[in-house]
Chains A and B, each alone.
Chain A
Amino acid sequence: DQQVKQNSPSLSVQEGRISILNCDYTNSMFDYFLWYKKYPAEGPTFLISISSIKDKNEDGRFTVFLNKSAKHLSLHIVPSQPGDSAVYFCAASGAAGGATNKLIFGTGTLLAVQP
């Protein structure tokens, strides 16, 4: 099941710079897209989401962009901080006309923010 893909397994950025994490999907029926952050030995923590009818959602240092024609979304973190170092999962929900709310996850990107 490759409906949600994160092609970069890891990303390293300097503190204060922008982190850009990317995600691609194949199912055009998804209604919502979410980003979760996961630290070792913890469960995924919700970060930010975006509806398929929008192209941008911003929350503090975090902004998610959605390009429906390209079936691509990205998470921007500005400025990046060492505490942002974690695995970031892209997830999608709401396929099948909203009859399902199960989350379909990507494989994750390990972000390392260097001090």
Chain B
Amino acid sequence: EPEVTQTPSHQVTQMGQEVILRCVPISNHLYFYWYRQILGQKVEFLVSFYNNEISEKSEIFDDQFSVERPDGSNFTLKIRSTKLEDSAMYFCASSISGGAWETQYFGPGTRLLVL
């Protein structure tokens, strides 16, 4: 069964450093998402991406964040200058279409720890 994959599974970084989280969505999916879950809190939407453009972003997704589809398979989330509060589990997801009824399939997550 096709699945969303994410690398790395864990990342430790120093405050102020840049990190890039990588995702390979399911191959025939056209919509891509990033969510995050701070320890003990809800899973929160960050951004959705379609046709090489951001289609929606949350208030969390400020200028420190960016997303890119650098090639036909990868989807990345970049945090330019990490802060302590960026420590969280980051989930990538993908769906075939962008309809509200469309199931979003999640990857296993990248645990980011900012020291």
Contact = CB atoms under 8 A, between A and B. Distances in A.
B109 A102 contact: no
Chain B contact-residue range equals 20 to 34
A85 interface: no
B109 A32 contact: no
Chain A contact-residue range equals 20 to 34
A101 B98 contact: yes
Contacts of A51: 101
Nearest to B6: A43
B56 A102 contact: yes
A89 B99 contact: no
Interface string A84-115: 00000101011000101111111110000000
Contacts of A93: 100-101
A106 B41 CA distance: 9
Interface in A13-64: 31-32, 34, 36, 41-46, 49, 51
A72 B98 CA distance: 25
B109 A49 contact: no
Given A49-B101, A101-B99, A41 B108 contact: yes
Residue in A41, A100, A103 with the greatest tally of chain B CB atoms within 10 Å: A103
Nearest to B31: A101
